[in-house]
């Protein structure tokens, strides 16, 4: 028997991105609705079939949730979570997450299960906690942001996934192909703490996720704990060395490589130069967009108000599902 709806509990406004992950949309909806109906929790569920509409739906949903004192919940991968989080940032509206993606770094970092039923039940007893997010110009990122080679890796990986399916072996194979095809170096001018540095690198990667940094073998979690972001750059190197770096990253030993530069920071500006076009491709949480330079990476002054499970296991210790 379904429970009588609890009118005192905040209503869930759920956005489901049908394009995320392997799971059947109808099945996911059924699981979510079953858990909430049995718990007597009020909810609205919106399924977004066209990813291009996700931003508009997110902003409308946040506005409606704020008016009614509700909670916005997003069911999707890290890119979908990013889009909905952007809409909630600064609104004061709490955000719940039901991970549906391939890697689910954000959910795993915060102890949120990739099992939809378990994650939905966890929302019922979760508490709101402030979570650090990064900004590149005014665009939010929860896990990472990058320019140079890494956005190209993401674009090629997505093309491979469309053809061969979504799993880590496909992602690794696409990375090999990208390295063999592209050899461009960036000459970027960094401003950090008032000092300028000219650096040549194939890619700049900025991390905001302890689990991902640990998996790469970069022991920089103290930077995140000190309310900083982490910058990772590669020194110019040959093709074989780049392939070896890719292997090291897959094995979680990137931090031992001599060609890797990494450091924590609160604010970093990348200025335009004759080697860096005024508009560049930037990847944020797996989504690639064009942005104008200069690029300013910084910790957001507004935290994300995230619904976190009452009992949060250590990142990487929970069951993350078959597609993680």
The CATH number of residue 53's host domain is 3.40.50.10330
Considering the domain architecture, whether residues 99 and 157 belong to the same structural domain is answered as no
Closest CA to 297 of 276, 271, 268: 268
For residue 101, give every residue at least 6 positions away whose Cβ sits within 8 Å of its Cβ, in sequence order, or none. Answer: 20, 21, 76, 77, 78, 79, 80, 323
Considering the domain architecture, whether residues 105 and 178 belong to the same structural domain is answered as no
Considering the domain architecture, whether residues 43 and 71 belong to the same structural domain is answered as yes
Considering the domain architecture, whether residues 58 and 121 belong to the same structural domain is answered as yes
Average pLDDT over all residues of the chain: 82
For residue 75, give every residue at least 6 positions away whose Cβ sits within 8 Å of its Cβ, in sequence order, or none. Answer: 14, 15, 16, 17, 20, 28, 32, 98, 100, 116
Q: Which backbone phi and psi does 273 adopt, to 5 degrees?
A: -145, 175
Residue scoring higher pLDDT (28 or 171): 28
Instruction: Kindly state whether residue 244 falls inside one of the protein's structural domains.
Output: yes
Residue scoring higher pLDDT (225 or 158): 225
Closest CA to 223 of 194, 257, 263: 263
Report how far residue 154's alpha carbon sits from residue 290's, in angstroms, rounded to the nearest whole number: 14
Closest CA to 247 of 221, 217, 220: 217
Domain that holds residue 281: 139-299
Considering the domain architecture, whether residues 71 and 97 belong to the same structural domain is answered as yes
Lowest mean pLDDT among 33-37, 94-98, 130-134, 202-206: 202-206
Give the DSSP per-residue string, 287-302. EEEEEESSEEEEE-SS
Instruction: Kindly state whether residue 289 falls inside one of the protein's structural domains.
Output: yes
Considering the domain architecture, whether residues 147 and 117 belong to the same structural domain is answered as no
Q: In the predicted model, is pLDDT for residue 178 greater than 70? A: no
- Cα distance between the two ends of the chain: 34
Per-residue pLDDT tens over the stretch 234-278:
775 655 455 545 554 554 545 555 677 888 999 999 876 655 667
Considering the domain architecture, whether residues 158 and 179 belong to the same structural domain is answered as yes
State residue 223's pLDDT score: 80
Interval 183-207 mean pLDDT: 82
With 0-12 / 13-18 / 19 or more C-beta atoms within 10 angstroms meaning exposed / middle / buried, residue 281 is: middle
State residue 58's pLDDT score: 98
Considering the domain architecture, whether residues 121 and 164 belong to the same structural domain is answered as no
Report how far residue 188's alpha carbon sits from residue 146's, in angstroms, rounded to the nearest whole number: 13
Instruction: Kindly state whether residue 318 falls inside one of the protein's structural domains.
Output: no
Considering the domain architecture, whether residues 157 and 268 belong to the same structural domain is answered as yes
Instruction: Kindly state whether residue 319 falls inside one of the protein's structural domains.
Output: no
Report how far residue 172's alpha carbon sits from residue 177's, in angstroms, rounded to the nearest whole number: 9
Residue scoring higher pLDDT (112 or 316): 112
For residue 241, the domain's CATH number is: 2.60.200.40
* Partners of residue 304 on adjacent β-strands: 131
Band the pLDDT of 322: cuts 50, 70, 90.
Answer: very low
User: Cα 181 vs. chain centroid, distance in angstroms?
Assistant: 26
Considering the domain architecture, whether residues 78 and 155 belong to the same structural domain is answered as no
Instruction: Kindly state whether residue 269 falls inside one of the protein's structural domains.
Output: yes
For residue 160, give every residue at least 6 positions away whose Cβ sits within 8 Å of its Cβ, in sequence order, or none. Answer: 170, 171, 173, 174, 177
Instruction: Kindly state whether residue 4 falls inside one of the protein's structural domains.
Output: no
With 0-12 / 13-18 / 19 or more C-beta atoms within 10 angstroms meaning exposed / middle / buried, residue 152 is: buried
Residue scoring higher pLDDT (175 or 125): 125
State residue 162's pLDDT score: 61
Closest CA to 282 of 162, 174, 135: 135
Considering the domain architecture, whether residues 122 and 148 belong to the same structural domain is answered as no
Q: In the predicted model, is pLDDT for residue 146 greater than 70? A: yes
Tokens 């719940």 locate to 96
Residue scoring higher pLDDT (143 or 254): 143
Instruction: Kindly state whether residue 2 falls inside one of the protein's structural domains.
Output: no
State residue 194's pLDDT score: 83
* Domain total of the chain: 2
Instruction: Kindly state whether residue 1 falls inside one of the protein's structural domains.
Output: no
Please work out, in degrees rounded to the nearest 5, the angle formed at the alpha carbon of residue 146 by the alpha carbons of 141 and 148.
160
Considering the domain architecture, whether residues 65 and 150 belong to the same structural domain is answered as no
């Amino acid at each position: 028997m379904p429970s009588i709806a609890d009118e005192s509990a905040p209503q869930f406004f759920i956005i489901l991105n049908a394009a995320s992950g392997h799971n059947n949309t109808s099945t996911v909806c059924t699981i979510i609705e079953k858990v909430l109906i049995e718990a007597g929790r009020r909810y609205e569920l919106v399924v977004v079939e066209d990813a291009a509409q996700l931003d508009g739906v997110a902003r409308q949903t946040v506005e409606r949730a704020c008016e009614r004192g509700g909670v916005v919940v997003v069911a999707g991968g890290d890119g979908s979570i990013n889009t909905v989080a952007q809409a909630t940032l600064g609104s004061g509206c709490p955000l719940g997450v039901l991970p549906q993606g391939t890697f689910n770094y954000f959910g795993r970092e915060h102890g949120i299960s990739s099992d939809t039923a378990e994650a939905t039940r966890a929302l019922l007893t979760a508490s709101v906690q402030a979570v650090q997010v990064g900004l590149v110009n005014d665009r939010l990122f929860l896990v990472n942001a990058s320019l140079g080679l890494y956005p190209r890796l993401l674009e090629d990986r997505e093309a491979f996934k469309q053809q061969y399916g979504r799993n880590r072996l496909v992602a690794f194979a696409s990375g090999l192909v990208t390295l063999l095809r592209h050899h461009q170096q960036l000459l970027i001018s960094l401003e950090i703490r008032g000092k300028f540095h000219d650096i040549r690198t194939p890619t700049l990667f900025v991390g905001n996720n302890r689990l991902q940094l640990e998996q790469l073998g970069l022991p920089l979690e103290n930077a995140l704990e000190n309310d900083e972001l982490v910058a990772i750059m590669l020194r110019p190197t040959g093709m074989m060395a780049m392939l070896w770096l890719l292997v090291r990253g897959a094995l979680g030993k990137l931090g031992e490589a001599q060609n890797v530069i990494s450091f924590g920071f609160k604010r970093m500006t990348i200025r335009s130069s004759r080697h860096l076009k005024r508009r560049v491709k930037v990847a944020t949480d797996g989504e690639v967009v064009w942005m104008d330079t200069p690029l300013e990476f910084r910790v957001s002054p507004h935290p994300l108000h995230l619904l976190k499970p009452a009992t949060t296991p250590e990142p990487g210790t929970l069951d993350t599902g078959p597609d993680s």
